[in-house]
Structure 1
Amino acid sequence: MKMPLRLAAVGVLAGCALAPAGLAAQAGPYAVVDKWVLGGEGGWDYLLADSANHLLYVTHATRVEVVDTTTGKPVGAITGLKGTHGVVLDDEGKYGFISDGGGNVVVVFDRKTFAIVNRIPAGTNPDGMAWEPSTKTVWAFNGRSSDVTVIDAVGMKTVATIKLSGKPEFPAVDGKGAIWVNIETKNTLVKLDAKTLKQTAEWPLAGCESPSGLAIDREHRHLFSVCDGRKMPVTDGDTGRQIALVTIGEGPDAAAYDAKDQLAFSSNGEGTLSIVSTAGGKFTTLQTLPTQATGRTMAFDFATGKAYVVVAKMGPKPAPTAATPKPRATALPGTFTVLVIAKK
């Protein structure tokens, strides 16, 4: 997480209206087709779609909301947390893992009952996470200690802590043991080996400022970082060569890739969803879809082709004080909402 509520780039949009007229949608196939009001209080971070079980996990302050994607209704919650960031799931349908940044732990929950079954110590402020299937490990990237905690999901214990060159953001995996993660403070992309538990490369992200979200095209081994300054660098995951630098919306924080339609997505805090075609090795913006200001994180459901973007209306920014010289607006209670985006 870049900062609380990830609103650095969109603070001027505290009223949370729909995307401004200057960001009108380009002609394209996607639209906002539904809105699920979850309500409650507090900020949020990442969300994750469980396609097989038709569930959406949404981090929300000190809890994780669980929503049935066929009805849009909450079906449960994981509670008793201190400050949630991300969720990953094992590949056996048994456990889920939450990065509880406020507690400096990775919380393990039962996917059938949503009950917490374990808390595993991590570094300082675990944030972005990845499930690495070839080694059955969970990788929790710690924002404040600039390292990654590697957890054996079978033994439920930490097996390594790997130091990084700067503050990590979101990771991506190829399913075969390679892991990549954006380093926000260095504007770089790091590659790690899950089998040797070592860093194998670090590459500059030219034209990128403060990379956050990351997605992967596993077939072509292309990586899509999203950056402040309206840029999405596309990187060769084996060589580190930059293949393209695509213009996207401002204030991005999450990325996704749809292999079926060869599309890369960036959810942007300004209130847009950038949809980039990668077909034929060409990287062109297919559509800029208005969503709602603060819509900076998202999840993509690979089974249905739907994207989910979380938003809320924001209250006025408090006046500066000596203790808080740069105060930030907070989400208005009851306005926490999931936007459902699909082909028309």
Structure 2
Amino acid sequence: MAVVLLAALTGCRQQPESAAVSCSLSRRGVALGRSDGIEYAYRDHANHRVYVSSDAGIEVWDADNGAPVGRIHNIVGSTAIVTAPPLNRGFAADGTTGAIKVFDLDTLEIIRRIPYADPSSDMVFDATTGTVAAISAVARDVRLIDAAAGVVVGDVRLAGSPRAMWSRGNGMLYLRLERPARIVRVNLGARKVDARWPWAACKSRRDLIDH
């Protein structure tokens, strides 16, 4: 039986040699009744749901009591999931095709397919601009998607390979790059990189997001 720890869960991978998906800051667990093939988990705080991907699809659970809500079919081995609650839309990377699939939060039905060359390794939703940003471990860019229309509006070229990204939802996106090791800030409204910092200069994510 898998246990997802929920208090601070935002998007965590399964720990090696363990059936549990967890975050270090979590304080409360909900048993999900399965332990096989868990690939990724994402918590939608606004709607009190947890999305858990596996080789069988994406299962949706109630974050408060652990009750099953439903399943999203035809998305296998997703490594990135994000929701846009104001738009009643969700986005999930398909681990087999690389496409980003858009689904309705109420029906859990897939309503659109957005081509992407490589499976996305991370996605975030920025409410200020209504943008979903996606990165992969291969491409040296950030794909920007109009969350309401479900269409690609641009790609921002990066000077290195993105390994992680985060946002406060204020129109600014922060990414950690490798080769060279640095942090860059993408202005989502202008769709361009507008600031850079060496990774060694930042002691924590808060140092970056406070800029």
Q: CA deviation at 1:17?
A: 10
Higher RCO (C-alpha under 8 Å, 6+ residues apart): 1
Question: 1:71 is matched by which residue type in structure 2?
Answer: N
Report the equivalent of 1:236.
208
Q: Is the 8 A contact 1:56 1:67 kept in 2?
A: yes
Question: 1:236 is matched by which residue type in structure 2?
Answer: L
When residues 134 and 32 of structure 1 are mapped into structure 2, their CA distance, relative to the original with a 3 A threshold, is: closer
Match of 2:42 among 45, 48, 68: 48
| Identity level (%) | 28
When residues 223 and 198 of structure 1 are mapped into structure 2, their CA distance, relative to the original with a 3 A threshold, is: farther
State the secondary structure of the residue aligned to 1:160: strand
Q: CA deviation at 1:235?
A: 2.3
> 1:170, 1:93 → 2: CA distance?
25
Question: 1:44 is matched by which residue type in structure 2?
Answer: E
Matches within 5 A, 1:268-279: none
State the secondary structure of the residue aligned to 2:86: coil
Report how many residues are paired: 195
Report the equivalent of 1:206.
200
Report the equivalent of 1:109.
103
> 1:159, 1:73 → 2: CA distance?
37
Post-superposition CA distance 1:95-115 (Å, at most 9, x none): 111122432211100100111
Q: CA RMSD in A?
A: 2.9
> 1:62, 1:185 → 2: CA distance?
35
Post-superposition CA distance 1:150-169 (Å, at most 9, x none): 11122221111122223223
Query: What TM-score do you get using the length of structure 2 for normalisation?
Result: 0.78
Q: Is the 8 A contact 1:142 1:149 kept in 2?
A: no
Q: Is the 8 A contact 1:83 1:103 kept in 2?
A: no
Query: What TM-score do you get using the length of structure 1 for normalisation?
Result: 0.50
> 1:80, 1:110 → 2: CA distance?
14
- Asked if residue 120 in structure 1 is aligned to residue 98 in structure 2, the reply is no
> 2:140, 2:36 → 1: CA distance?
29
- Asked if residue 159 in structure 1 is aligned to residue 153 in structure 2, the reply is yes
> 1:166, 1:189 → 2: CA distance?
10
> 1:196, 1:167 → 2: CA distance?
21
Q: Please list every run of 5 or more consecutive structure 1 residues that lacks an aligned counterpart in the other structure.
A: 19-29, 209-221, 225-233, 240-344
Q: Is the 8 A contact 1:62 1:84 kept in 2?
A: no
Report the equivalent of 2:34.
39
Q: CA deviation at 1:196?
A: 0.9
When residues 72 and 80 of structure 1 are mapped into structure 2, their CA distance, relative to the original with a 3 A threshold, is: same
Matches within 5 A, 1:3-22: 14=17, 16=18
State the secondary structure of the residue aligned to 2:71: strand
- Asked if residue 130 in structure 1 is aligned to residue 102 in structure 2, the reply is no
Q: CA deviation at 1:146?
A: 2.2
Which structure's CA Rg is the greater one? 1
Q: Is the 8 A contact 1:149 1:162 kept in 2?
A: yes
